[in-house]
Amino acid sequence: MFAIDLGDGAELRPLEPWQAEEFLAHMDRAREGVDPWIPWAGRSTDLDSARATLQRYSDLAARDAGRLYGIWLDGVLVGGTMFVSFEVAYGNCEIGCWLEPAGQGRGLVTKATKYLIDWAVWERGMHRIEWITRPDNTASSNIARRLGMKLDGVLREQYPHNGVRYDSEVWALLATEWRTR
């Protein structure tokens, strides 16, 4: 296993099925604030469903199609970032993130996501990195801006949540833009 030091007692590490109990405890703390943005948050409500969520990402990693990483602060899981999709053949990927209140306001997602983008661009040769969020998730939009992403457009009523359809903003960063930062 590896850990990337994010500074100030924070680390970025793989999040895997054997950590389901810790992940469930984290989701119990984070669910209310995360559920509107992360589809699996509302489905990870017991140990079996938490393990299934983590297993789904392990299966994606095994197929080189996605990955999931946790963010630990002083040894406690407080959030994470992920490759929601990772399409090597096309050179496109999507990054997502989440944080419980204890991890917010410290720049942890921005720091962690920079490592994912570096790896995707420099190691894997990805060309386009996307960030998709709802327009009312200003914290997420602000991270996309800090990462140098540009708003490509809005997909109207694209995202269903609890019986309501929401718009989705599509932010993107091209490898050439990342390399010249």
Are 70 and 19 a contacting pair, CB within 8 Å? yes
pLDDT for residue 57: 96
DSSP SS3 for 37: coil
pLDDT for residue 101: 93
Q: 75-91: per-residue pLDDT in tens?
A: 999 999 999 999 999 99
Name the pairing type of β-strands 92-99 and 128-133: parallel
CATH code reported for the domain at 4-179: 3.40.630.30
| List of residues 6+ apart from 117 with CB closer than 8 A | 95, 129, 147, 173, 178
Closest CA to 167 of 125, 145, 136: 136
Terminal Cα distance for the chain, rounded: 30
Low-confidence residues in the chain, pLDDT < 50? none
Q: 106-123: per-residue pLDDT in tens?
A: 999 999 999 999 999 999
Report the predicted TM-score, pTM, of the whole model to 2 decimal places.
0.94
